[in-house]
Structure 1
Amino acid sequence: MRAHHLLLGLTAAYFIASLAHFGHNAQYIAFYPGMPAWLTPGKVWLFWFAVTGVGLIAWVLNRLGLRAPALLVLGVYGALGLDGLLHYSLGLCSQHTLMANLTIWAEATTGLALLLVSSVLAFRQLTRRAGVA
């Protein structure tokens, strides 16, 4: 049960960090260095909904009793949080505002934590099912 609470807490933390980062992107897109002109606030929100949809798929799989696949998809959901680090390929950390840096790193670190924990739990689930000690 402790693992369940940890996973729930990490998922919530990542969801909030992702929402904060994408929300900041949408609001201040003109101030992010190197952002392509085609990327509008509306498109930023569409991307956030797509990312969040991956998390929703994990939830549905879990509700269907498909625990190992749910954990693997949840890991993918967390891994998508690392995508925010691509901002630094467009502009140096010092070229971003403090809030931009905070939201980027909050999303990346909570996403990485979710990826790692869900991967360990999926591995345990799969090895337990396979009868490996």
Structure 2
Amino acid sequence: MHRHLLALVALYFAASLAHFSHNAQYIAFYPGMPAWLTPGKVWLFWFAVCGVGLLALTLIRLGLPALGLLALGVYGALGLDGLLHYRLGLCSEHTLLANLTIWAEATTGLMLLLVSAVLLARQMGGMAWRRSTT
């Protein structure tokens, strides 16, 4: 895998960890959060999200780059779910650190989604070109 893509995955992973850590620690202070959402459940959701990223990296490593890039795009897209905090409370109702972790995760997730989509399109375009020349 290209080291720049791996660096972007690591950056998104770190941003996601920061956001979920903040969620787990300060869940009671986030505006509008449902009572059923506990710190333990926050961590379970984070592990599930990370599972998608791990699946993506495994697929790429196993020589299935198209499936891996598709899963990597899904992994990045999951970072956009942090923006749902703003359905529960305005930006001004969140602390500065909460806003920073939300936006860091969403931004890096979106970047990972877009880069994965471009690489997947190139991969698929190359496959179509090879099929048409044989």
* Coarse TM-score class (shorter-chain normalised): over 0.9
Partner letter of residue 84 of structure 1? G
TM-score, normalised via structure 2 length? 0.95
Deviation at 1:63, TM superposition (A): 1.2
Mapped to 1, the partners of 2:48 and 2:105 lie a distance apart of: 16
Give runs of aligned pairs for residues 28-107 of structure 1, distance below 5 A: 28-107=26-105
TM-score, normalised via structure 1 length? 0.96
Task: Give percent identity, aligned residues only.
Answer: 77
Deviations 1:62-111 (A, max 9, x none): 11100111011000000000000000000000000000000000000000
Gaps of 5+ in 1: none
Deviation at 1:6, TM superposition (A): 1.9
The residue that corresponds to 2:5 in the other structure is: 7
CA root-mean-square deviation: 1.3
Mapped to 2, the partners of 1:34 and 1:59 lie a distance apart of: 35
Deviation at 1:5, TM superposition (A): 2.0
Partner secondary structure for residue 131 of structure 1: helix
Higher radius of gyration, 1 or 2: 2
